[in-house]
Structures are given as structure tokens and as C-alpha cells.
Amino acid sequence: MAEEFDEVEAGESIEVSEILDDDGQVIGTLVDDVVVVTSEGGSIVDETIDVFDADGNLVSEEEIIDVYDGDDHLVSETDDLLIVTED
């Protein structure tokens, strides 16, 4: 039987940064999206990092998922990286 928790909290943080060339021109953007869900039994942290070129096309994406128990010990971690190439 699954454990029941009285209180679950969720939060999200999104940061967008410009990627500049040596001349200061914008050549892309980096989007870092972090979602955290916590309860007495532990927490899950899901971070997605997307890189877009200057035209808004996805260049790469990395997703990292960490699972922590109620004592803040890391119990599981996944890391997937997708690199998009043009044909």
C-alpha cells in the first residue's frame, strides 16, 4: 500500500539567458526550468535545460531527474541528453 502524505508542495523556477558571440550579438538562448515537488516522504527535482539558436530552433535538451528520500538522501538520478542536428 502506498504511503499517504498530508502535505505536498510544488514549485517551479525558470531562468532564460542570452548566449552572446564575441561581438555581443545574441546567437541563442539557454532556458533552465527546475520543478521541485516535496513532501514528508521525500522530494523530486526535475531540471530541463534547453539551448535554442538565434532563430528559436532547439539545439539541445538535457533533463535531469533526482529523487530524494525523507532524510534528503539521493536515491535515484537520471540524466538524458538530446542533441538536435540539422539534416
Q: Classify residue 28: in a domain, yes or no.
A: yes
User: What is the rounded (10 degree) CA torsion for 51, 56, 58, 59?
Assistant: -60
C-alpha cell at 73: 538522501
Residue 1 lies inside a defined structural domain of this protein? no
pLDDT of 5 above 60: no
Total structural domains in the chain? 1
pLDDT at 17 over 90: yes
For residue 76, give the C-alpha cell: 535515484
Mean residue pLDDT across the chain: 91
pLDDT of residue 3: 60
Q: Are 65 and 77 in contact (CB under 8 A)?
A: yes
Residue 60 counted as domain residue: yes
pLDDT at 46 over 60: yes
Which three three-digit cell numbers place residue 79? Answer: 540524466
